[in-house]
A and B are shown apart, each in its own frame.
Chain A
Amino acid sequence: MHNKSVAELSRELESGKISSVELTREYLGRLKKEDEQLNSFISITEEQALADAHAADEQRAAGKATPWTGVPFAHKDIFCTNGVATTCGSKMLANFVPPYDATVTENFRKAGAVCLGKTNMDEFAMGSSTESSHFGATTNPWGLSQGEKRVPGGSSGGSAAAVAARLVPAATATDTGGSIRQPAALCGVTGLKPTYGRVSRYGMIAFASSLDQGGPIARSAEDNALMLNVMAGFDPRDSTSIDRDVPDYTATLNEPLKGLRIGLPQEYFASNLNAAVEEQIRGAIREYEKLGATVKEVSLPHADLAIAAYYVIAPAEASANLSRFDGARYGYRCEDPKDLMDMYTRTRAEGFGAEVKRRILVGTYALSAGYFDAYYLKAQKVRRLIQQDFIDAFQEVDVLMSPTTPSPAFVQGEKSNDPVTMYLEDVFTVAINLAGIPAMSVPAGFVDGLPVGLQIIGDYFSEARLLNAAHQYQQVTDWHQREPQ
C-alpha cells in the first residue's frame, strides 16, 4: 500500500477496499521503523493522526468525502499546526506550540487529509542540505542504498526524503530560493514552487517574505496537482496573496503537448554543469520532442547575477523577519538575563545556529546606514533585470527547461563548512524566486545511481501548464516511480 500514489489511495478509500484507520496505521508503523535511519521527521503525531483517520472514515461513510479524505501526508515543520509543536528546525522554536493553524494547514484539515507529523528542514529554511536542523541532519534514502550518507537537499529535505522513501505519499514544502525543487531533484521526487502569491503564507514561518512560497512535494505530477488544488487560493490573511481564480489542476493533465514551445536557457547549460547530469537532461528534452514539443535556445542575460542578488535580498528580509525572536514573548530565552540587552544578545546567540546567524548579520549589514543603496537597493534593481529576462523569454516560448541542480546529491559534511559553495547549489533555482514565477522539478534520470531533476519553468500563474507538461512526461517515463532500496 505504501507504494501507491495519492490518486490511487484516494480511489482505494473511495471504493472501501481499505479504511483510513488501516492505512494510517500502516504508514505510521513504517514511518516509525524506517525513519530511524533517515531522520526525515521532527515529530510524529500518532494519536492525532489516528483520531483524524477515524473522523475521515466517518466522513466517507456519510458521503462527504473530498479526494483527500483519509489520505495520509505530512507538513514541513514551518507550517503552524494548532496544538502541535512547530519548530522551523530551530532551537529558538523547539518549545513553540502555535495556538493557530496556517492557512495551508487549515486547507488540508478541511479536505480531511490525515497529517502524520512534521518533517525536518534546514533551520528557518536557510540551507540546501537539511544539515543545519537543530534536530539533526536528514539522510537521503538514495545515498543510503549505496552505503553512503548523502544530503537530501534542502531546506525541504525532510519532506523530499520522506516521500522518496515512501514514508508518506505527499508532503508540504516551501521554496525561497530552491527549497522545494532542489531537494525534490536530489531525492528523485516531483515538486512545484507556485507563482508568488498563489499559496497563502499565513502561518508559514517567514524567512524572506518577498520570495517565500509554499508548494507540494509528491512522487508524481498528478499528486502535485491534487495537493495544489488544496493549497492554492486567495487568503485575506496574507497581504501579498493574489485574488485570482484557482483552476482544477487535475483537469488539464492530459492535454497533448503537441506544439509546446520549449526554451533552453543557454546560461543554465554552462560550464559548472556536471556533464553526466546534462546528458540526462538532454535525454528528457528529446522525450519532449517525441511528444510533439519544439525546442530552441534562449538567453537569460542576467542569469549570472541571480545568486548575488538573492544573497542580499534574502538575508536582508530574514534579518528583519527574525528580529521577532527576542526572548521576551515566546520561544527560547537564555538563563538569568542580567538586563534587556543581555537577554536579547544571549537568547539570539544561543537560540540560532551558525548559518542563521551568518544570514542575519549579512542582512543587517546590507540594510545598515551607508550600505543600503549599494547592496539592498542595487539587488532590487538587478532583481527587475532578472525578471525582465524571463518576461522576454516567455514572448518566444511557453516553458523553459534546465537541470534543477548542477550535480546530484553530495555527501553529508562536504559543503557545510563553506557557505558560498553551499549557496551555489541554488544557481539554477534562485532566479525563479526573484522573478516570482512558478517552476517544477521532475525526476529525469540517474547519474551513478543518484536521481537527477529536470526543472520546468513557466510564466506567472502557469502552474496548470507545468503540471500538464510534467504529467505527460511521466506517462512515457518511469523515473518518478523508481524506489531507493
Chain B
Amino acid sequence: MTISREDIEKVAVLARIRVDDEQVSELEKDLGNILDLVDQLSAADTDAVEPMAHPLNAVQRLRPDEVTETNQREAFQAIAPATEKGLYLVPRVIE
C-alpha cells in the first residue's frame, strides 16, 4: 500500500496539521510503512463478524437530569490564554 503526496497533503488539511514539502517526503515513507503493516488485516476473514466497540459490550449509561457541577469560572478563567471581564478572549475567527 502506498500513499501519495496528494493523499498526505489532503489528510494533513483534514487533521489541521501544517506539513512542509520535506515532511511530506518523510511521511510518504513512514505512513506507507505503517499502512503496509496494517494491510495484514485485509487477509482476515471477517464476513460474519460484528465490529467490536467496547470489550464488555457496555452501552452508554444515562444519569438523572440533575445539576451536579458547580460554577468554577474563576478556576477556568485562571488557565485561559486571555480573559476580560469574565469573558474568554480568542483570536479573531470571522473575517
Of the stretches A48-56, A59-67, A139-147, A381-389, the one at the interface is: A381-389
CB within 8 Å of B: which residues of A? Answer: 96-100, 195-197, 210, 236, 239-240, 242, 302, 304-305, 307-309, 311-312, 319, 323, 326, 328-330, 333, 337, 339-341, 343-346, 348-349, 352, 357-358, 360-362, 364-366, 368, 374-375, 377-385, 387, 419-420, 423, 435-437, 460
Is B18 an interface residue when CB atoms closer than 8 A count as contact?
Answer: yes
Q: Quick one: which of B11-31 are within 8 Å of A by CB?
A: 11-19, 27, 30-31
In the bound complex, do residue A365 and residue B81 qualify as a contact, i.e. CB atoms below 8 Å apart? Answer: no
In the bound complex, do residue B16 and residue A348 qualify as a contact, i.e. CB atoms below 8 Å apart? Answer: yes
Give the shortest distance, in Å, between A443 (CB) and chain B (any CB). 28
In the bound complex, do residue B58 and residue A361 qualify as a contact, i.e. CB atoms below 8 Å apart? Answer: no
In the bound complex, do residue A382 and residue B44 qualify as a contact, i.e. CB atoms below 8 Å apart? Answer: yes
Among candidates B8, B54, B55, B80, residue contacting A329 with C-beta atoms closer than 8 Å? B80
A419 to B32 alpha-carbon distance, docked (Å): 11
Q: Give every chain B residue within 8 A of A460 (Cβ-Cβ).
A: 55-56
Among candidates A312, A365, A385, A419, residue contacting B49 with C-beta atoms closer than 8 Å? A385
Is B84 an interface residue when CB atoms closer than 8 A count as contact?
Answer: no
In the bound complex, do residue A99 and residue B52 qualify as a contact, i.e. CB atoms below 8 Å apart? Answer: no
Q: Is the interface of A mostly helix, strand, loop or mixed?
A: helix
A307 to B12 alpha-carbon distance, docked (Å): 24
Which residue on A lies nearest to B12, using beta carbons?
A361
Q: Give every chain B residue within 8 A of A341 (Cβ-Cβ).
A: 16
Give the shortest distance, in Å, between B63 (CB) and chain A (any CB). 7
In the bound complex, do residue B11 and residue A361 qualify as a contact, i.e. CB atoms below 8 Å apart? Answer: yes
In the bound complex, do residue A344 and residue B16 qualify as a contact, i.e. CB atoms below 8 Å apart? Answer: yes
Query: 8 tightest CB-CB pairs across the interface, nearest first?
Result: A436-B55, A380-B51, A381-B46, A99-B75, A345-B18, A384-B52, A349-B18, A344-B16
Enumerate 24 A-B pairs (CB-CB under 8 Å) in ascending A order: A98-B79, A99-B72, A197-B55, A210-B55, A239-B60, A302-B44, A305-B41, A308-B40, A311-B38, A328-B91, A330-B81, A339-B93, A345-B13, A348-B16, A349-B17, A349-B19, A361-B8, A361-B17, A364-B14, A378-B46, A381-B49, A382-B49, A384-B52, A423-B37
In the bound complex, do residue B42 and residue A352 qualify as a contact, i.e. CB atoms below 8 Å apart? Answer: no
In the bound complex, do residue B34 and residue A385 qualify as a contact, i.e. CB atoms below 8 Å apart? Answer: no
In the bound complex, do residue A384 and residue B49 qualify as a contact, i.e. CB atoms below 8 Å apart? Answer: yes
A-B contact count (CB 8 A): 159
In the bound complex, do residue A240 and residue B79 qualify as a contact, i.e. CB atoms below 8 Å apart? Answer: no
Contact status of A330 and B37, CB under 8 A, knowing A384-B50, A419-B30: no
Extra inter-chain contacts (12) besides given A339-B92, A357-B17, A384-B50, CB under 8 Å: A97-B79, A98-B79, A197-B58, A308-B38, A308-B40, A337-B91, A339-B93, A345-B16, A365-B7, A365-B35, A380-B51, A384-B52
* Chain B CB within 10 A, most for which of A328, A341, A365: A365
Give the shortest distance, in Å, between A3 (CB) and chain B (any CB). 38
Contact status of A99 and B78, CB under 8 A, knowing A345-B16, A382-B44, A385-B46: yes
Q: Give every chain A residue within 8 A of B90 (Cβ-Cβ).
A: 328-329
Q: Give every chain A residue within 8 A of B55 (Cβ-Cβ).
A: 195-197, 210, 387, 435-437, 460
Among candidates B12, B17, B37, B56, residue contacting A311 with C-beta atoms closer than 8 Å? B37
Q: Give every chain B residue within 8 A of A304 (Cβ-Cβ).
A: 40
In the bound complex, do residue B31 and residue A365 qualify as a contact, i.e. CB atoms below 8 Å apart? Answer: yes
Q: Give every chain B residue within 8 A of A307 (Cβ-Cβ).
A: 37
Q: Give every chain B residue within 8 A of A368 (Cβ-Cβ).
A: 11, 14
Give the shortest distance, in Å, between B8 (CB) and chain A (any CB). 7
Give the shortest distance, in Å, between A158 (CB) and chain B (any CB). 24
Give the shortest distance, in Å, between A465 (CB) and chain B (any CB). 18
Q: Give every chain A residue within 8 A of B49 (Cβ-Cβ).
A: 381-382, 384-385
Which residue on A lies nearest to B26, using beta carbons?
A354
Among candidates A96, A197, A381, residue contacting B50 with C-beta atoms closer than 8 Å? A381
Give the shortest distance, in Å, between B88 (CB) and chain A (any CB). 8
Q: Give every chain A residue within 8 A of B65 (Cβ-Cβ).
A: none
Q: Give every chain A residue within 8 A of B56 (Cβ-Cβ).
A: 196-197, 242, 436, 460
Q: Give every chain A residue within 8 A of B30 (Cβ-Cβ).
A: 358, 419
Contact status of A333 and B42, CB under 8 A, knowing A365-B3, A380-B52: no
In the bound complex, do residue A360 and residue B42 qualify as a contact, i.e. CB atoms below 8 Å apart? Answer: no
Q: Give every chain A residue within 8 A of B2 (Cβ-Cβ).
A: none
A358 to B31 alpha-carbon distance, docked (Å): 7
Q: Give every chain B residue within 8 A of A312 (Cβ-Cβ).
A: 38, 41
Is B61 an interface residue when CB atoms closer than 8 A count as contact?
Answer: yes
Give the shortest distance, in Å, between B29 (CB) and chain A (any CB). 10
Q: Give every chain B residue within 8 A of A377 (Cβ-Cβ).
A: 51
Q: Give every chain B residue within 8 A of A420 (Cβ-Cβ).
A: 33-34, 36-37
Q: Give every chain A residue within 8 A of B93 (Cβ-Cβ).
A: 339-340
Q: Give every chain B residue within 8 A of A236 (Cβ-Cβ).
A: 61, 63
Q: Give every chain B residue within 8 A of A339 (Cβ-Cβ).
A: 92-93, 95
Among candidates A197, A311, A329, A364, residue contacting B11 with C-beta atoms closer than 8 Å? A364
Q: Give every chain A residue within 8 A of B33 (Cβ-Cβ).
A: 419-420
Q: Give every chain A residue within 8 A of B27 (Cβ-Cβ).
A: 358, 361
In the bound complex, do residue A382 and residue B17 qualify as a contact, i.e. CB atoms below 8 Å apart? Answer: no
Q: Give every chain A residue within 8 A of B34 (Cβ-Cβ).
A: 311, 358, 362, 419-420, 423
Q: Give every chain B residue within 8 A of A96 (Cβ-Cβ).
A: 79
